[in-house]
């Protein structure tokens, strides 16, 4: 079993607040990681080899307990899904549920998404990138910790194929404004939120644990979709 043990970058978009792992989560990590897990290496991944087939690859960053990722994989068996998460209990839960559901089109990485994008994902290789309910870091002094920053947006754009899309969701209005500002200023991205394609993408998104929690608190949820339309920015 290989997890990411390398030093993390100075400013991180997450905090490792791992809760205690259940016996079933520990068992899943030990027994199922060889089947579903992907190690963080210095070379770009060969998706065809990892999934054992050629198919569109969708990257989900920060999948939590993996319920939304698993639902998408079940509903869209024609796609391959790569999920990134830093919290091992959530990974254990997803691995257990993947096996129970007989799902074969999901692979998992335990790593920092920025490091994965910089070192492991080939350019022009992804059909979509999904980022649902990342930590909004609401306090102003913590805004620098937000994952959606110009460097991150440019990395995502480079990894997407032409016509690929970046789908984001948040229940924090101010963070939605920040996301839209950053992505709108990234060359090669154009917003398609509100258009026909957006409607089909957002309608098919399964709710996440964080979304349900936000709705219970009365937060409005915003989905944003940006499409890669050009090669500008290289």
Tell me which residues are annotated as active site.
Answer: 135
* Class of residue 99 by CB neighbours under 10 A (exposed 0-12, middle 13-18, buried 19+): middle
SS3 41: coil
Residue with tokens 């990234």: 186
SS3 12: coil
**Structure tokens that stand for 215 in this block:** 């709705």
SS3 170: strand
How many angstroms separate the CA atoms of 98 and 21, rounded? Answer: 18
How many angstroms separate the CA atoms of 224 and 191, rounded? Answer: 8
């Amino acid at each position: 079993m290989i997890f990411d043990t390398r030093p993390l970058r100075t400013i991180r978009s997450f905090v490792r607040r791992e809760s205690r792992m259940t016996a079933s989560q520990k068992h899943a990590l030990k027994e199922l990681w060889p089947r579903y897990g992907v190690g963080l290496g210095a070379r770009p991944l060969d998706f065809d080899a990892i999934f054992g087939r050629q198919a569109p690859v969708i990257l989900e960053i920060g999948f939590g307990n993996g319920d939304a990722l698993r639902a998408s994989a079940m509903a869209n068996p024609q796609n391959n899904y790569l999920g990134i998460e830093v919290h091992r209990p959530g990974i254990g839960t997803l691995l257990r549920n993947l096996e129970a559901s007989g799902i074969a089109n999901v692979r998992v990485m335990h790593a920092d998404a920025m490091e994965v994008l910089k070192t492991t994902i080939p350019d022009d290789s992804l059909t979509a990138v999904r980022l649902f309910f990342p930590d909004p870091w609401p306090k102003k002094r913590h805004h620098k910790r937000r994952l959606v920053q110009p460097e991150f947006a440019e990395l995502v754009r480079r990894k997407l194929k032409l016509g690929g899309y970046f789908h984001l969701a948040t229940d924090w209005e101010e963070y939605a404004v920040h996301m839209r500002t950053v992505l709108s200023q990234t060359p090669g991205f154009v917003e398609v939120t509100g258009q026909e394609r957006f409607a089909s993408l957002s309608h098919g998104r399964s709710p996440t644990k964080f979304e349900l929690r936000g709705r219970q608190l009365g937060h409005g949820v915003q989905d944003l979709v940006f499409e890669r339309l050009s090669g500008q920015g290289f």
